[in-house]
Structure formats: structure tokens, C-alpha cells
Amino acid sequence: MKKIGVFTSGGDSPGMNACIRAVVRTAVHKGIEVYGIKRGYRGMIKGEITRLESNSVSNIIQKGGTILRSARSKEFTTKEGRREAYEQLQKFGIEGLVAIGGDGTFTGANIFYEEFGIPTLGAPGTIDNDLYGTDYTIGYDTAVNTALDAIDKIRDTADSHDRVFFIEVMGRDSGYIAIPCAIGGGAEIVMIPETETTIQSVVDTLRTGWDRSKTSFIVIVAEGDEEGNAADIAAQVQKTLPYMDARVTILGHVQRGGAPTAADRMLASQLGIACVDGLLAGRKCEMAGIINSQLVYTPFIDTITKQKVINPYYIEMVNILSV
């Protein structure tokens, strides 16, 4: 293999630039030409492909977002779109790809290989940390620390004004951000998609705390919780406990931005190198990850279909520590 391409796809996450940097410099170190593909599969179809050298990725390891940009592509979901992407790669002689993204990115790469034989290695780039085959994903540590910093500031206000704050964090299908935020932020309640937490149980916990003279509370809500978003939940609780001053804060996309932590820079760099090494070793349709401090490669099909389960003890920790 003499030429490879690298791209980012789906939602951006802090540390993607560190991974791009690692891919480029590893390829250069091994005498491989490397091309950056802008805007994911959409840019691949349009031929937004540029040769990258070592100095092309200087001074980016500390930056959030992705220098290659990211986009979703409906066109790539069609056979015709994928054929156009393949033809663009052929123009540049690209023989393999490194995809930095999540399950949607890897699903597309899997189909692309089946149809056109372009091998792809994946680096898990998502703040949600919900990909099977790795303990942590690129951007997760930064997102948690960003959210936790905001929660600490909100608690100051909650304490000063005797308020209940319902804080919504990202996690459409996963509570991986919510759980450490609840434990690290000293929250009284956490609501995540993986477990059922009813409105009544929230009311009971808040009422019990109030009855023993506790006057401020933090409730962490993952955006995908089955009871609804933070605003809906707060409104329902307020009807039952009108004497409590309930407020809502939605942290939203602030969790995706900012300079990556040292942990994310290390992880992204390690996985970027592993992707290039994997391609050169003949691997295909696999995601590089770290499990128990060891590098592993997991087939895309497993990453896409298998569920990554949250340790139930972490949920119990919230209950124990909120007393």
C-alpha cells in the first residue's frame, strides 16, 4: 500500500485533530503518501482531496473540532454515490482509508468495502463513548470535563438560591457522559437511557431531601432519557413540588468543542498510529480501540451491532453518594 486517505465523519469531537496528525505523521514516517479528505463521505464524492505532508498537521494537536471538517452525506447511502466516491479515490490512487468517526461512519465504510474493495480502519471519534470495542472514545474525556466544569458553576448558583437544577448533557442513546458528570458533580439524581428512572422516583428523592432540610439539588439528564428532555422533566416535577424553584440548563454542543485533554490527545495519537499500522498489515473493516490498556482491533460489524454496557455499579454509586 502506497497511498492512503484520512477523513472525519459524523459529529466532531475533541481530539480528532490529534488523530489526523498521528495518521499523517505515521504514514510519512513509513514512506506512505497520505491524503486528507474534507467533509467526510460528502467530500469524498465531490473530490475534496488534498495531499498532506508532515507540516500540514503542525500546531493542530491542541485544537478542537477537525481541520478536515465533517459532514453527513445522504448521497453516500446510495450505490451511485458510493461509486462516485470510489472513482474519486481512484483518481488519486488511494488504496486504503482511515475513518475517524462513529457507528454511522463505520457502517458506510463496511458497505463501501463490500462493494468496491477499499479497506478501511476506523478510529472511534465520538464524545458519547458508546462504541463497542474500546473503553474510551476520542473526545469523551474532554466532553465530560467540559460538562463537569459547567456543573460545578451551576451548583454554586443552586446553593446560593436554594434551587433545583435539571442539567441536560449529551447522550441520545447512552448515559456515558451523564454518569461521570453525576458522580463527579455530586448530583442527587441521574437519568439515562439505559435505566428507567420515573418522574415519581425523582419527585420522591427530591421530597425526601427537602424534608431533611436539603435546599439545593442537581439532576443530570441524558438527552435520550425515556422520560423526555430536561425541560419536560423539570416541568412535570415542578407541578408536583411547586415550592421548589426548578431551573433547566442544556449544555448542548458546548460539550463537543474546546481543546482536548491530555487523555484524549494520547488516545487519539495511539489510535491514529494503530490505524495506519493496521492498514499496512492487511487489516480491513476494523476499529482500533483500547481495552484494559491494550490495543485491540474490533470488526466494524461488532462495533455497529453490539451494545456497550454501562457498569451498573456506577449507577449505584450515584445513589450511595447522594445521601
Q: Is 72 annotated as a binding residue?
A: yes
The CA-atom distances, in angstroms, between 36 and each of 43, 99, 100 are 10, 11, 12
Cβ-in-10-Å burial (0-12, 13-18, 19+) of 78 comes to exposed
Cβ-in-10-Å burial (0-12, 13-18, 19+) of 215 comes to middle
Annotation marks residue 128 as catalytic = yes
CA dihedral 244, 322, 225, 199 (to 10 degrees): -40
Q: Is 69 annotated as a binding residue?
A: no
Q: Is 161 annotated as a binding residue?
A: no
**Residue 270 in contact with residue 277, Cβ under 8 Å?**
no
> What letter represents residue 177's amino acid?
I
Q: Is 186 annotated as a binding residue?
A: yes
Q: Is 134 annotated as a binding residue?
A: no
- Half-sphere exposure at residue 6, Cβ-oriented, CA atoms within 13 angstroms: 34
DSSP per-residue string spanning 194-212: TS---HHHHHHHHHHHHHT
Q: Is 73 annotated as a binding residue?
A: yes
Q: Is 25 annotated as a binding residue?
A: yes
Q: Is 256 annotated as a binding residue?
A: yes
Neighbours of 162 (CB within 10 A): 13
Please state, in angstroms and rounded to a whole number, the distance separating the CA atoms of residues 228 and 304: 25
Q: Is 29 annotated as a binding residue?
A: no
Q: Is 253 annotated as a binding residue?
A: yes
Helices (H) and strands (E) in the chain, counts: 11, 11
Q: Is 128 annotated as a binding residue?
A: yes
Catalytic residue among 12, 128, 130, 264: 128
Q: Is 93 annotated as a binding residue?
A: no
Active site residues: 128
Q: Which residues are annotated as a binding site for Mg(2+)?
A: 103
Q: Which residues are annotated as a binding site for ATP?
A: 11, 72-73, 102-105
Q: Which residues are annotated as a binding site for ADP?
A: 21-25, 155, 186-188, 212, 214-216
Q: Which residues are annotated as a binding site for substrate?
A: 126-128, 163, 170-172, 223, 247, 253-256
Q: Which residues are annotated as a binding site?
A: 11, 21-25, 72-73, 102-105, 126-128, 155, 163, 170-172, 186-188, 212, 214-216, 223, 247, 253-256
